[in-house]
Copies of this chain bind each other. A is one copy, B any other.
Amino acid sequence: MKKSSKPIDTVPYHHGDLRRALLEAAVKAPDIEQISLRELASGLGVSAAAVYRHFDGREALLAELAVGGFEQLQARFSVGFDPRTLPADAPQAVQRLHRLGVAYLRFADEQPALWRLMFGTHAAQIRADALQTGEPTSYSYLPAALQGLYSAGVIPAPPEAGDVLFTWSAIHGAAALRVGSVAAAQGEVEYIGEGVVQRILRGIGARPVATNSI
């Protein structure tokens, strides 16, 4: 079809930033893992085949979304928490773990679909890669927080692998139960996070530390 006349209200042939638009639209879907490329594309007024100009396929698009999710998670972790520095004192060390737990929970609560994608089957390879990278990722913060507890004298011995796994399990599990609507009626995420982290600290042998505000 060719047109010699150019109507004003015509849609431009090139979208402009379709790649970003696709990602943004996909991440808003209530169930990301079940999005249809055709729906996604037509929602942006574009043909389904156009998606393949920017992604190798559906799975690749999901993978990119998951990567973005982990970056977003890391960004949340990093506010007021430089994993390369040690905490100044015991309250700060405890506070770091608290903030980490609450950030984890809040992220899961605010973006449950993205969270499911990140920790589901589709992103398995991405998680494996992130764990093997030497660079600091979202996975770096939890071990760093536990190490900080030791350096600040909150726990008597350096954290063992079991301590890291346990801490991560409790926080991750709380998020999973929340996302799965199993523990939905337990109150606000902040409150849940407080309770879980307090018990984690006790579980890994932390001495009581008074913290003014979280």
Contact = CB atoms under 8 A, between A and B. Distances in A.
A128 B181 contact: yes
A208 interface: no
Given A31-B121, A121-B116, A170-B170, A165 B180 contact: no
Contacts of A121: 31, 33, 116
Contacts of A76: none
Contacts of A183: 165, 168-169
Contacts of A176: 119, 169, 172-173, 176
A165 B181 contact: no
Q: How many identical subunits does the complex contain?
A: 2
Query: Mostly helix, strand, loop or mixed at chain A's interface?
Result: helix
A200 B165 CA distance: 12
Nearest to A181: B124
Interface string A106-134: 00000000001001110010011001000
A58 interface: no
Interface of A: 31, 33, 116, 119-121, 124, 127-128, 131, 161-163, 165-166, 168-174, 176-177, 180-183, 186, 192, 195-196, 199-205
